[in-house]
Each structure stands twice: as structure tokens, then as C-alpha cells.
Structure 1
Amino acid sequence: MTRADAFVVLGATGHIGSVVARTLLRDGHQIVAVVHDEAKAVDLKSAGADIAVVDLGDTQALRATLRRGRRAFLLNPPAPVTTDPNAEETRTATSIAEAVGGAGLEKVVVESTYGAQPGDAIGDLSVLWSFERAVGAAAIPMAINRGAYYYTNLDTLLDEARHGSIATMFPAQLKIPMVAPVDLGLAAARRLTGPLDDVGVKYVEGPEAYTFDDVAAAFAKMLDHAVTVRTIERSEWVSSFRRVGFSEPAAQAYARMTEVSLEGFDMPDDPIRGTKSLQEYISELVKERTSAR
């Protein structure tokens, strides 16, 4: 493998990075798959990927890995909610951005989020805003994909849905742009292999916006019983997060992120549209979890 042939993919065993990696391999490209646990990358290695086990907080090691490719997909992994995610994710984002500087890449694609904005510890919104800016300081062609609300955030609701209800901090009838990780990965792979002048911010969402009433209906269809929605009051947000294992800093940050999201932010006029619907995702989730029981 020569550098001119290779693409470096961070988070290559995760929801989005794995799709980027497999799409590139399917299309005949060479990749360096950056992972934390080599045991989870057996399938990628079998498919022809070069596996690099790198601590993203090790700037020098990451820069050396980035030098093995000509373009890179950059994703800042989420920190455990039992920690202080803002501090941990800021640390890795800073390390990744510093590693990009001096790596000699010709283009990068940065995975970010709808609503990314400056602020004081507002979860992904502020961390990924800073990540975009820090990577941009390397002054190389940079494409930014901001993803809508991930369907994967709904995974934890399945057990509740089995018992007939789901709880959310969003109003039940509020339409929210949502997206499947596979569509985020496909969009990133396209921009990563696209022309050098395909840069700047683009937004990625699913085929349409959905409400949590729609989420409940999707679960109900698969579980064959009624599922209702309970909206958690603002005064209960932090305690709700704490009850499911969030640290105090994590609970506060996620509550602020939810509040900012409900206040609203600029929405794109012409987002990149994925194809996987909410019902398709929920159907796959229920079938997978049911077969694993």
C-alpha cells in the first residue's frame, strides 16, 4: 500500500466509521482503519483493511498514522457518560486536530452535528463546533458533514417500548430531523473520495423528519401492541439522566444540549437525504435484539 492509494478512517468499527471503511473497501480503495480494540476489527482486516490501533489522545502516534494516507475521515468518539464527556471529548478533539497539522493530508472529512455552535459545555454542540474550527486551522481542504438526530439514540427505548411506553424530553408531536448511521457513513465516503473543491458544511438527514409519536408507532408496529409517549418535564431532565448512570457533569451537559436543541437553530434548505426510514431502522433493531435474547 502506498500513501497515494490509502484513506485513513477514524472510528472504523463504530456505527458511522464502519460504513465509511466498508464502503471504501467495497469500491476498491485501500484503507488504514484506526481502532481502539483490534479484536473488533477482525472482519475489516479480513476484507483487506490495514488495522492501526491508536489512542486518539496520543497526538504523535495519530499523526504518524495519518501520514500513511492521503485523505482522512475524522470522527471524535463519544466519551462514556459516566465521565465528564465535555472534558474527555475536548481532549481527544484537540489531539486529533493537532495530529492533522503536519500530517500532509490533501483533504479531510469531519463528522459533526446539526446545531454545532459555540457555548459553555453544551455537549456535542459545543465540542464539535470547536473540533470543526480546530481541524480547519490546519488549512487543508475540509468537508464537514453535520448529521441530524441519530436513530441510534432510540436504541435504549426498546425495553421501555416492550412495556408499552417510551419517555423523551422532546414534545411528542415535534418533528425532528433524524438519520441512520449508514446514511451518514455513505455521505462521508462520497465526500471523502470526491473532488478537492467539495469542501465546507453540508447537512445529512434521513428521508423525512419524524416525531416521537412516530417513534412510538414504529415500535408498536413491530411489537404488536400499543406504545405511548411520556414527555419528561424540564425540571426532571438532570435527575432522569442521573438515574440511568450519567455523571453529574454529563447530565448537566446533555440537559443543556437538549434545551438548546428545543430552542431551535438554523436548519438547512437542501440537506443530503439518506434513504433509510425510521420504520426500517426500528424494524431492524427489534429483529436484531429479539434474535439475541
Structure 2
Amino acid sequence: MFVIFGAAGNVGRVSAAALRRAGREVRAVVRNDKQGKVLAEIGCEIVIADQLDPVSVAHAIEGAYAVQMLCPVPRADADPASTMRRMIDVSADAFRANPPQRLLALSDYGAEHPSGTGITTLFHYLETQLAPIASQVTFLRAAEHMHNWARLLPIALARGVLPSLHHPLTKLFPTVAAQDVGLLAAELLLDDRPAKVSPRVVSIEGEARVSALDVARTLGELAHRPITAREVPRSEWAAMLQGAGLGENHARLITDLYDAHNAGRIDVETEISERRFGSTALEGVLASILAGVAATSTAAAAAR
């Protein structure tokens, strides 16, 4: 049995589908029945679990040969760092009590740093807690997800300006499509060869690094209108993030992350990482997001 936590997410559902195509039994761990509907249609067993609840996490991994673990940053939480650490502790305890043969944890570029990188320090904690557990542990460290730009698209389309926390706008940074992460995760879980080292660290990013200027230009070409990238002043970051609905503590995790990005601390750890590259270009991801925005707008108009 292959168990996928976060199976309804952009990465998890791709991994689940790939494993089903390979003929494997998949248990999709989700938060509610609605999330499980599409996964059940492709033959996944559905388990609803609260990752802060030791009993439900232990139940989710019963009989697992391999587990793909995702510990999401809780967006609506007043103290997301503390809550995510508790989530990690619950999972680690469950794995220690019932270790799978193979464990793959979704992590981030920069997870080797114990401090000073905002959200990414939580993935450092994840790695330190899970490293000793299974006989074969893999940390799949992904670059910044291209889909993260989705939250800024409404602003860019409405105002013709794409705000960026990447400074300067010309700086090239690694990014990757979630679907490429999901496909690689499934490939690694299916790899039955004995690991040469555990934990195994694998990194993934897109074939080409991009800048905020590249993102704005590509978005403008797809939307058939001029869109300009704007470097958001550092003094405005917290207010902008909190205005977008993040709590103060979550906003601080983001600002610390981008401070580290802009200082050049967030990148692939080339000394120990097996490097992989996704094939999906930024243009394809942005086109998909725009299509979704258009479909939502059409449905909303029809409902009025």
C-alpha cells in the first residue's frame, strides 16, 4: 500500500494518479469527503485524517509499504510555525511506532539551514525529525512552486502590475511546476533499488531559472495585455501579506523567507543533492492558472 498525505493537493494528486497508473494500491489521505471524491474515482482508498491527531495519523499509515508525507503550513493558524511543528511531531511519532519500508517527505530548497529562512526552517525541522525513522528515507526538496503566482494573478490582471518580493526584478531564481514534483515523487517511491544512502536528498527545479520580469512578461503575453513587474519595497511586505489575509506570524515567516531568498541563501544544496529537472515550462503553468480564473469568472457571471 502506498499512502499519500495531502493527496488532494497540487503535488499529491499527481503522485496518486501516477501510482495508480503503475498499478499500485493507493491510500489517499485527505481532510474531508469532498477532497476524496476525485481520488476515489481513480481507484484510491480514501482516509480522512487530521494531521494533528495521533490516532487518525496512525490509522492512515496502517499496512503501508511506502508513505509520501506532506506537512502543510497551516495558513489560517494564529501561530503556524508551532502548529506545523506539532503536526510534524505527530507524524514522526506515528512512523516511529510503525515505520514504513519507504518514506518520502516533500521538503524545500534551503531546508539544510536550521534558522534564518522563515518557512523553510520548518522543513529543516521536518527533515531532522524524519531522517532516522525508516530504512529508506528520501527528502524531495523542491524549488519555489510556479503555482504560487496564482495568488497574485487577480492583482496583475486588474491593475496591470505584478507585485514581487524577489529583489531585484532581474534576479534569476529556481522554480518548478507542482505536477513535475508529483511525478518525480511517485517515481522515487516506485524505485525499488536499495538506497546507497539514507536519508537520500533529491532536488527538483524547472529547466530554466526565471526572474520576476520573466513572469510578468509571460503573463502579459498570455493575457494579451501589458503587465509590469513591481518590486514591492521591503517596508511594505508585512502590510501587503496581512492585507492578503495572512496573520502576523505567517506574514513574518514569508518576509524572513524572501529576505533569505534575496540574500542568496535559498538554493539547491549541490554538495549532497541528486539534481532533477522538471519539463513543465512557466508558460504552461500560468496558462493553466489563467484558464481556471476565466472559468471561475464565467461560472460566477452565469450564477448572477
Pairwise TM-score range, normalised by the shorter structure: over 0.9
CA distance in 2, matches of 1:244, 1:47: 35
Q: How far apart, CA to CA, are the structure 1 residues paired with 2:35 and 2:76?
A: 21
Partner residue of 2:72 out of 71, 77, 89: 77
Measure the CA separation in 2 of the matches of 1:139 and 1:86.
25
Q: Contact 2:99–2:134 (CA<8 Å) still a contact in 1? A: no
Equivalent pair of 2:109/2:269 in contact (CA under 8 Å): no
Matched, 1:130 2:125: yes
- Structure 2 SS opposite 1:146: strand
Secondary structure (helix, strand or coil) at the match of 1:48 reads coil
Q: Please say which of residues 74-83 and 27-36 is displaced more in the overlay.
A: 74-83
Q: Could you tell me how far 1:245 is from its partner in structure 2?
A: 1.6
Deviations 1:189-216 (A, max 9, x none): 0111112316511111112111011100
Q: Tell me which amino acid in the other structure corresponds to 1:273.
A: F
Structure 1 residue 286 and structure 2 residue 283: aligned? no
- Name the structure 2 match of 1:3: none
Unaligned runs of 5+ in 2: 298-304
Supply the distance in 1 between the matched residues of 2:35 and 2:243 (Cα, whole angstroms): 30
Structure 2 matches for 1:125-204, cutoff 5 A? 125-162=120-157, 163-170=159-166, 171-194=168-191, 195-197=193-195, 199=198, 200-204=200-204
Pairwise mapping of residues 243-262 of structure 1 onto structure 2 (< 5 A)?
243-262=243-262
One-letter amino acid of the structure 1 residue matched with residue 284 of structure 2: E
Q: Does structure 2 conserve the Cα–Cα contact (< 8 Å) formed by 1:8 and 1:68?
A: no
Taking structure 2 as the reference length, the TM-score comes to 0.90
Q: Note the 1:31-50 alignment, pairs <5 A.
A: 31-50=26-45
> What's the secondary structure of 1:209's corresponding residue?
coil
- SS of the residue corresponding to residue 97 of structure 2 reads coil
Q: Is the 8 A contact 2:238 2:255 kept in 1?
A: yes
Alpha-carbon distance change, 114 to 234 in structure 1, aligned in 2, over 3 angstroms: same
Does residue 268 of structure 2 align to residue 267 of structure 1?
Answer: yes
Deviates more, 1:105-114 or 1:237-246: 237-246
Which digits, 9 at most, give the CA deviation of each residue in 1:1-35, with x for residues without a partner? xxxxx101100101111111111011111011111
Amino acid at match of 1:267: V
| Deviation by residue 1:85-108 (Cα, 9 ceiling, x = unmatched) | 211211111111111112131010
- Partner residue, 2:227: 227
Task: Using the aligned pairs only, state the percent identity.
Answer: 24
User: Does the 8 Å CA contact 1:169/1:237 hold for their aligned counterparts?
Assistant: yes
1:49-88 equivalences in 2 (<5 Å): 49-81=44-76, 83-88=78-83
Measured in 2, the distance between the counterparts of 1:110 and 1:161 equals: 33
How big is each residue's C-alpha offset from its partner over 1:255-282, in whole Å with a ceiling of 9 and x where there is no partner?
1111112112353556211011001111
Secondary structure in structure 1 of the residue aligned to 2:174: strand
- Count of paired positions: 287
Rounded Cα–Cα distance in structure 2 between residues aligned with 1:44 and 1:31: 9
Name the counterpart of 1:25: 20
Give, in angstroms, the shift of residue 55 of structure 1.
0.8
State the 1:70 CA deviation. 0.8
| Alpha-carbon distance, 1:123 to partner | 3.5
Give the distance between the partners of 1:123 and 1:190, measured in 2 at CA: 30
User: Which position in structure 2 is the counterpart of 1:208?
Assistant: 208
Q: TM-score, normalised by structure 1?
A: 0.93
Once residues 282 and 227 of structure 2 are traced to their aligned partners in structure 1, the CA distance between those partners, rounded to angstroms, is 16
Q: Distance in 2 between matches of 1:135 and 1:256?
A: 24
2:8 aligned partner: 13
Residues 67, 105 of structure 1: 8 Å contact kept: no
**1:275 counterpart letter in structure 2:** S
Residue 139 (structure 1) shift: 4.5
CA distance in 1, matches of 2:170, 2:148: 18
Cα displacement string for residues 152-175 of structure 1 (whole angstroms, at most 9, x for unaligned residues): 110012112212111011121110
- Give, in whole Å, the separation in 2 of the partners of 1:188 and 1:83: 31
